[in-house]
Amino acid sequence: MSIAILGGGAFGTALAVAVGKTRPLTLWAREAAPLIKHRESPRLQGVRLPDAVTVTGDLEQALGADTILFSMPMQSLDAFAAPISAPLAGKALVACCKGIDLRSLRGPAAILAQHWPDAIPAILTGPSFAADIAHGLPTALTLACADETTAQTLQDQLSTPSLRLYRTADVTGAELGGALKNVMAIACGAAIGAGMGDSARAAVITRGFAEMTRLAVHLGARAETLTGLSGFGDLVLTCTSEQSRNYRFGLALGRMERFDPDITVEGVKTAEAVTKLATTTGVDMPICQMVHEISGGGTSVAEAIQYLLNRPLKEE
C-alpha cells in the first residue's frame, strides 16, 4: 500500500520524516524545487528528509498512491481539491488539517468526502508539534475513520516506533476536537499575554473544554472522543506551550503586539466559523465568539474578559 503526503509545510514534512524512516512514501509540495534540492522545508528547518521519501511537484504522480494525506491549511483544502479530476475511488484520504471550512462550515473529512464520495475519508489529529514528530520524540495521535478495516490499515501504515496511533470511528468528534482546541489556545494566549495569570488560563481551558464538548455532541460526536487525544490531549498541549502558533498569536493579542501574518494560525478562521455555527445551531459558544471578536480587532482582550466574567451565573 503506497503513501503520498500532499503539502510540504511543517506538518506534511514532519510526517514524511517520521513515516519515511519506516517505509517509502511520496511527498508532494506546491513549491517542490527547493525541497527536492535541499531536502528540508523552510517551515521545518534543521530536519532532513530520509532517502526513502520521494519529493515531487507532480500532483498526478502523488495521487496514484493508495493512501493520500492532505496536509495543507484548512481554508485551502476545498480550493485545492476542487480542480482535481483524478478518480480516487476506494482510496483512503486522510485529512491532517485542523479547522472548519469557513464557506461550508464543514470539517476536513467532510470536504474530502464531498469531492470524492467513493473514497474513504479519515482524519489524523491529536497533540503533536511538527518539530517533535520530526525529531522522533514520543507522540500519540488519533486516527479517525468510520471504516474499521481501513482504520486498522492506516493505523499500521502510519505508526512508527515513536509515533503511536490510536483509532476511533468518531470522525466528527476527532475533527471538531482538533479544530476547536486552536480557538481555546488563542484565548489562553490572550489571557496570559494580558497578564491575567495561570488561574484564568485554567478557567479558559476547563470552560473551553465544556464549550468544545457542547458543540461537538450537538453535531453528532461522542462526548468520550472529546476526552481523548484529539480533544482534551491537544487542548492541553496547545493551551500551555509557546511552540503553538495559535497560543503565540493569542499572546500577541494580549500584549497588543504585531504577529507575522505569514504564520499559519488556524484558530482565527475556526473561531469565525464557530461563531456562525453557534448562530445556526443555537449552541452557546461564548469563548469562541470572544476569540472571533478579539482576532478581528473589534473588541479588546480586556473587554472580552469582562464579557465572559459578567455572564449570568450558572451551574457548572
Ligand X SMILES: O=C(CO)COP(=O)(O)O
* Helical ranges in the chain per DSSP H: 10-19, 32-38, 59-62, 74-81, 108-115, 130-134, 148-158, 171-193, 198-218, 223-226, 234-240, 245-255, 266-281, 286-295, 301-309
Q: Tell me which residues touch ligand X (CB under 6 A).
A: 98, 127-129, 182, 185, 234, 237-238, 244-246, 266
Which residues have C-beta within 8 Å of that of residue 148, sequence separation ≥ 6? 169
- Catalogue the active-site residues: 181
Residue 140's CB is within 10 A of a number of other CB atoms, namely 16
Comparison of 71 and 157: residue with beta carbon closer to ligand NAI: 71
Task: Please indicate if the annotation marks 181 as binding a ligand.
Answer: yes
Query: Which of ligand X, ligand NAI, none is residue 67 near (CB under 5 to 8 Å by kind)?
Result: none
The reply on whether position 70 binds ligand NAI by CB under 6 A is no
Are 65 and 44 within 8 A, CB to CB?
no
Task: Please indicate if the annotation marks 260 as binding a ligand.
Answer: no
Q: Kindly state the cell numbers that stand for 118.
A: 467513493
Query: Which of ligand X, ligand NAI, none is residue 97 near (CB under 5 to 8 Å by kind)?
Result: ligand NAI
Query: Which of ligand X, ligand NAI, none is residue 43 near (CB under 5 to 8 Å by kind)?
Result: ligand NAI
Comparison of 213 and 264: residue with beta carbon closer to ligand X: 264
DSSP secondary structure of 261-284: TTS--HHHHHHHHHHHHHHHH---
Tell me how far apart the alpha carbons of residues 76 and 73 are, in angstroms, rounded to a whole number: 6
Comparison of 8 and 173: residue with beta carbon closer to ligand NAI: 8
CB of 134 to ligand X, least distance (A): 13
Q: Which residues bind ligand NAI (CB under 6 A)?
A: 7-12, 30, 43, 71-74, 76, 79-80, 96-99, 128-130, 264, 266
Positions at the binding site: 7-12, 30, 98, 126, 128, 130, 181, 234, 244-246, 266
